[in-house]
Every structure is written in C-alpha cells, then in structure tokens.
Amino acid sequence: MQPASQPPQSVEQLLERAQALAGYSLGELADLANLQTPADFRRHKGWSGQLLETWLGAEAGSKPEQDFPELGVELKTLPIDSQGKPLETTYVCYAPLTGIAGISWEHSNVKNKLACVCWVPIEACRDIPPAQRRVASAFLWQPNARQEQALRQDWEEIMEMIALGQVENITARHGEVLQLRPKAADGNALTQAIGKDGQWIQTRPRGFYLKKNFTQALLQHAFLDL
C-alpha cells in the first residue's frame, strides 16, 4: 500500500481510499509515506490532517476551498476516544468580520465547506502517542435538512451579531452546533472588525467550529445499524 499519487477521480474512489486506511496506525502510514511521526502534537497540531491529505491525494495548500474541489468534497480528520466520542471540536473555516453585508447562508463559506465531508475518525486519546493512534472507518456525510437548519440558525445568529458590531460579545457558548472561537497564531494577532458604534475596531481573528455534540451525532448516525 502507498499514498495516492493522483487526486481521486470520483467520490467512490475517495471513500475507497479512505476506508482502506482503517486499522492502520499513524506511525505505519507515516513510515509508508516516508514521513517522520512527531513524538507529540504540541508543535505539530495539523500533522494528522496533512498525513491523510497525502494518503488520499488532496492538493496541498491553504486555499479557502474544499480539499477535493473536483468532487466538491471536504476532508476532515476527527479525533475520537475508545468509545467513538469526539475529543475536540472541529474547525470549519475562518469567519469574515468585515464586508459581510449581503452574505447569505446559501453563499457562506460554512455551508460550502460542509456540503459534503469525508470524515476520517482517528482514535486519538492524549495518552496514546501519535505513532500508535489508529485510523477508524471513514464515512461520507452530507447534511440532512435538520442538520443544515441547525447550522444555518447558528450561523445566522453569529453573523448578525458580527454585523451589528457585537463580535467581542460572542463567546463559544453561542450556538447549539456551531461556535465562534479565536483562530490565530497568538494573542497578538489582530484583524479589522465592526465595533459597537459602527466604527472599525481591531480584534482577534475568529473561526467557526463544529461543537462535539454535533460531530458525535454524525458518528452515531454513520455507524448505527438500522
């Protein structure tokens, strides 16, 4: 087995490739790709995701697009515990803090990113060294009507607060399934936003994240036998 040399030509091929990785440890996959596995993720936080991108043939880069634009599919790793519960929230995308007049949910980056996701769960309790963490069974997901409605409602509430100059009053507690949190290199990073009196202010950049209750439900639906 070896990493893909080309992007997958179809969604089916992508899913096949992803499911073929189930059961392998990150250390095994790194060795087969001639990559070094870090001893911990303190300084390598995105390593798992980049390893999977390599294996599945995603284009490297940081474009604000899906990982597989030809297929309209986004790739996301999801750290889980031994019971299959998410260990972390899931980053979705950067949140626009300016120029947001007229942005609708239908044209939002969040909706676009989550239109179709290839989820790759990884058993990743913090007491397991990265090399020994195992890939679980990948699955494809497209939001159903209820899920999209829940995402849309949170997104619209958060974006309205941003538009009204309330960005600094938004905490991670807002939103049932989608939350807004800082997303930056450090506390010194600043970007422009709308202030409470409509003026420009400088604030910490923000990102949208999926809360654990939401991704846990996705896992349950994906693997529930009915």
- Binding residues for DNA, rule: CB under 7 A, are 40-46, 48-50, 52-53, 60-64, 67, 74-77, 79, 87-89, 91, 93-94, 96, 109, 113, 122, 124, 126, 171-173, 179, 181-187, 189-192, 204-205, 207, 211-212
Report, in Å, the least distance between residue 89 CB and DNA: 5
CA-CA distance, 168 to 83, in Å (whole number)?
A: 36
Going by DSSP bridges, is the β-strand pair 134-135/117-123 parallel, antiparallel, or unpaired? antiparallel
CA distance linking residue 158 with residue 63, whole number of Å:
24
Instruction: Kindly state the smallest distance separating residue 108's Cβ from DNA, in Å.
Output: 12
CB of 225 to DNA, least distance (A): 25
Shortest Å, Cβ 79 to DNA:
4
How many C-beta atoms surround the C-beta of residue 24 within 10 A?
16
Least distance (Å) between residue 74 CB and DNA: 6
Q: Quick one: 28 or 212, whose CB is closer to DNA? A: 212
100 Cβ contact partners less than 8 Å away, ≥ 6 residues apart: 159, 162, 163
Residue whose CB is less far from DNA, 111 or 183: 183
Determine phi and psi for 117, rounding to 5 degrees: -125, 135
CB 57 within 8 A of CB 4: yes
CB-nearer residue toward DNA: 106 or 186: 186
Tokens of 119: 């989820």
Name the residue nearer to DNA (CB basis): 217 or 226.
Answer: 217
Who's near 167: CB < 8 A, 6+ residues apart?
A: 97, 161, 193, 194, 203, 206
Of the candidates 46, 40, 20, 43, which has an alpha carbon nearest to the alpha carbon of residue 32? 20
State which H helix or E strand residue 123 sits in: strand 117-123
SS3 225: coil
Cβ proximity to DNA: between 102 and 225 the closer is 102
- Give me the least distance between CB of 188 and DNA, in Å please: 7
Q: Which is nearer to DNA, 172 or 226 (CB)?
A: 172
